[in-house]
Amino acid sequence: MTNYVNEIQRRRTFAIISHPDAGKTTLTEKLLLYGGAILSAGSVKGKKANKHAVSDWMEIEKQRGISVTSSVLQFEYNDFCINILDTPGHQDFSEDTYRTLMAADSAVMVIDASKGVEAQTKKLFKVCLLRKIPVFTFINKMDRAAMNPFELLEHIEIELGIATYAMNWPIGSGKEFKGVYERDHHRIIAFHGGDHGQKAAEVSEGTLEDETFRGVLGDHFFEQLREESELLDIASTEFDQELISKGELTPVFFGSALTNFGVEPFLSHFLDMTTSPLPRESTQGEINPMDERFSAFVFKIQANMNKAHRDRIAFMRICSGRFEKGMEVMHMQQNRKIKLSQPQQFMAQDREIVEEAYAGDVIGVFDPGIFSIGDTLCDPSMKFEFKKIPTFAPEHFARVTQKDTMKRKQFTKGITQIAQEGAIQVFQEINIGMEEIIVGGVGVLQFEVLEQRLKSEYNVDIKLEILPFQCVRWIDDQALDPNTLNLTSDSKRVRDLKGRNLIIFMNNWGIKWALEQNKGLTLSDVGTAE
Ligand code: G4P
């Protein structure tokens, strides 16, 4: 019994988020290196050619010949069992990332030191905020020209509205990058350029009051570090683990993933500060991860994982207890018992049957078309539903019509199933049926995928017409009749597949106008189900 408690406590499940090119793939690879999952350091080569890959890990896998699941990467480090949840590299699939963050207990945010907070980081951070999970910041590429570190911290605070605490402090940047000063250990880790590989970097210890570091850094950088460190102590927020756990303060680390600098200190600090599996809200109150009864929710459904199999896999995050192969669980949304007989973890080509797993872990099960995003599976004695996964507002819209009206049944089935997987959002104009629908996505590549899948899996040809809308908002008061609202003539009243009322707007100006014209109207860019 105690064994399963220990197994759960040592789990750390997190996602890495970043704007494309900030270094997420590189950092992931270096974390693997320290976990012993791969043997030698080195950057992932030739990634440019494969920017459209849905999973960056597949690329790492190909390059390195290692086994990485396409949904979660599990490895051991210093008695911790680490689960890194995969998030798609291409921003057009970031809706998947939003949902993956729902399954994570914390997030690592990678920021390019020369660019600061970028658009995609902002969007992803919003989801972390919604979940109130701890966020750890890794400011990457210090070996290149970088923004001033004080400016970077201020930038994060202003753009994201989260307090920062610098765990280490960079000494110079770019060609003059000398290393970092670890504030808690009063030590300098010196940077020597090139690939640090698995070699430990040179370390000097001592407080800045003694002159220990002068020789290491030279006069200029030593004086600068002294001044900046003093300023930091006076001006910055104090370290506060409680605020970190609530997601109100982000510990910041400076480093360079490519040269493998600062990655291991980051990992060990991060593991100390982050959390073991968190409780989850449900219709029966909070579900404690230590509850020995199994419970899980579906956060991702992936079709065509493997061309040879042509199937659909539902990925679920275990929220409590222990999972055992072949166990019988209650699928709450279908109100029936099912046997999880073929639970799998996925490798690029091979599948591996999971014998057991614990709260914090992710397993994939074959989905004959019964699962939807957010579904609850639990021990039959429990009977509850986890709080629904919110739907995030898409930013691209297209009108979809079927070319052959005789194939209406397949068309409706295909669109509905693909929407259930969360691969696309579907809207119907109020008072118009399914013959003509509007689809929404975070990026236009989602539309291409829809078109191809409808053709290959459902044998339906569609006509896609990109619409000039830019935003959609859920109406908070669902009892309100959308027809009574005073809107600009180019706005559209629609309903999603869950029957919720929304308005599609041409731009932000249309939203502003709607709010001004309709007293008491409130709108939301996140659809929170019942
Ligand atoms: P992403 O997953 O967030 O999209 O970023 P990725 O790791 O693919 O990194 C994007 C580019 O930035 C890569 O270069 C990578 O080598 C480089 N990079 C990552 N970390 C660092 C760092 O600490 N310092 C420096 N100087 N560069 C870094 P690329 O030219 O796009 O790819 P490649 O041809 O080098 O593979």
Instruction: Name residue 461's amino acid.
Output: D
Residue 4 domain-assigned (yes or no): no
344 and 412, same domain (yes or no): no
What's the pLDDT at 76? 86
Could you give the CA distance from residue 356 to residue 382 in angstroms, rounded to a whole number? 20
pLDDT at 165: 97
Q: How far is the CA of 97 from the centre of ligand 1 (A)?
A: 20
Q: Are residues 401 and 516 in the same domain?
A: yes
Does residue 116 sit within a domain?
no
Mean pLDDT of 279-307: 88
Write out the two tokens for 145: 């020209």
Question: Among residues 342, 376, 410, which one ends one of the domains?
Answer: 376
Instruction: Output the pLDDT for position 352.
Output: 63
| Same-domain pairing of 398 and 494 | yes
Give the CATH number, domain containing residue 418: 3.30.70.3280
372 with 473, same domain: the answer is no
- Is residue 184 situated within a structural domain? no
Q: Name the residue of 17, 27, 43 to mutate for ligand 1: max ligand atoms within 8 A of Cβ.
A: 43
The type of residue at 432 is I
Same domain, 283 and 342: yes
Determine the pLDDT at residue 25.
86
Q: Which backbone phi and psi does 316 adopt, to 5 degrees? A: -125, 145
Instruction: Give the span between the Cα atoms of 377 and 328, in whole angstroms.
Output: 10
Residue 272 lies in a domain: no
Query: Do 137 and 124 contact (CB within 8 A), yes or no?
Result: no
Residue 42 has pLDDT above 90, yes or no: no
Q: Are residues 292 and 410 in the same domain?
A: no
Same domain membership, residue 497 and residue 399: yes
- Please indicate, yes or no, if residue 493 is contained in any of the structural domains: yes
Choice from 18, 21, 260 to test ligand 1 binding pocket (greatest atom count within 8 A of CB): 21
d(CA 512, CA 274): 39
Q: How far apart are CA 130 and CA 110, in angstroms?
A: 19
- pLDDT band at 2; cut points 50, 70, 90: low
Task: Write the DSSP symbol of residue 403.
Answer: S
Distance (Å) from CA 92 to ligand 1 centroid: 19
Lowest-confidence pick of 89-98, 169-178, 356-365, 392-401: 89-98
Query: What is the distance in A from the centroid of ligand 1 to the CA of 322?
Result: 38
Of 435, 407, 437, which is closest to residue 497 (Cα–Cα)?
437
Q: How far is the centre of ligand 1, averaged over its atoms, from the C-alpha of 30 (Å)?
A: 12
Q: Is 106 in the pocket of ligand 1 (CB under 6 A)?
A: no
Residue of the nearest CA to atom 26 in ligand 1? 141
Question: Residue 472 — very low, low, confident or very high, per pLDDT cuts 50/70/90?
Answer: very high
Ligand 1: which atom is nearest the Cα of residue 51? 4
Same structural domain, 411 and 517: yes
The response to whether residue 26 sits with its C-beta less than 6 Å from ligand 1 reads yes
Comparing 36-45, 270-279, 301-310, which segment has the lowest mean pLDDT?
36-45
Domain final position from 346, 376, 406: 376
pLDDT grade for 36, boundaries at 50, 70 and 90: low
- If DSSP codes are grouped into helix, strand and coil, which group holds residue 78? coil
**176 pLDDT above the threshold of 50:** yes
Cα of 57 from ligand 1 centre, angstroms: 14
Q: Which tops the pLDDT comparison, 215 or 439?
A: 439
Q: What is the pLDDT of residues 83-138, one digit of tens each?
A: 998 776 666 667 788 888 999 999 999 999 999 999 989 989 998 998 899 999 99
In which domain, by residue range, is 296 found?
A: 278-376
The domain boundary, picked from 307, 341, 376, lies at 376
What integer pLDDT is reported at residue 388 of this predicted model? 87
Ligand 1 atom 17 nearest Cα: 23
Any ligand 1 atom below 6 A from CB of 47: yes
pLDDT at 53: 38
- CB 312 near ligand 1, within 6 Å: no
- Ligand 1 pocket residue status of 175, Cβ below 6 Å: no
Q: What is the pLDDT of residue 47?
A: 41
In a domain, 359, yes or no: yes
Q: What are phi and psi of 473, to 5 degrees?
A: -135, 140
Number of domains the chain contains: 2
Confidence class for position 182, pLDDT limits 50, 70, 90: very high
Query: Considering only CA atoms, which of 334, 394, 511, 528 is closest in space to residue 91?
Result: 394
> For the chain, what percent of residues have pLDDT higher than 90?
55
How many angstroms separate the alpha carbon of residue 172 from the centre of ligand 1?
A: 20
On average, the pLDDT of the chain sits at: 85
Task: Name the residue of 33, 47, 73 to mutate for ligand 1: max ligand atoms within 8 A of Cβ.
Answer: 47
398 and 498 belong to one structural domain: yes
237-251, 351-365, 399-413: which range is least confident on average? 351-365
pLDDT digits (tens, 9 = 90+) for 492-529: 999 998 899 999 999 999 999 999 999 999 999 988 76
**Known binding-site positions for GTP:** 18-25, 86-90, 140-143
Q: Which token pair is 154?
A: 């201020």
- Mean pLDDT is lowest, of 185-189, 306-310, 376-380, for 306-310
The finding on whether 59 has its CB within 6 A of some atom of ligand 1 is no
pLDDT confidence of residue 58? 47
What's the pLDDT score for residue 349?
37
CATH number at residue 338: 2.40.30.10
Atom of ligand 1 minimally distant from the CA of 56: 2
**Highest mean pLDDT (candidates 94-98, 303-307, 472-476):** 472-476
Is the pTM higher than 0.95? The answer reads no
The answer on 408 and 342 residing in a single domain is: no
In a domain, 502, yes or no: yes
Q: Is the pLDDT of residue 1 over 80?
A: no
> Which of 32-36, 284-288, 353-357 is the least confident region?
32-36
Nearest CA to ligand 1 atom 24: 141
- Closest atom of ligand 1 to 257 CA is 23
Residue 212 lies in a domain: no
258 Cα–ligand 1 center, Å: 7
For residues 449 and 502, membership in a common domain is answered with: yes
20 lines ligand 1 (CB under 6 A): yes
Q: Please tell me the predicted confidence (pLDDT) of residue 435.
A: 61
What confidence tier does 191 reach under pLDDT thresholds 50, 70, 90? confident
- Ligand 1 center to residue 360 CA distance, Å? 29
pLDDT at 212: 79
190 neighbors 212 (Cβ within 8 angstroms): no
Nearest atom, ligand 1, residue 44 CA: 36
Together in a domain, 412 and 507:
yes
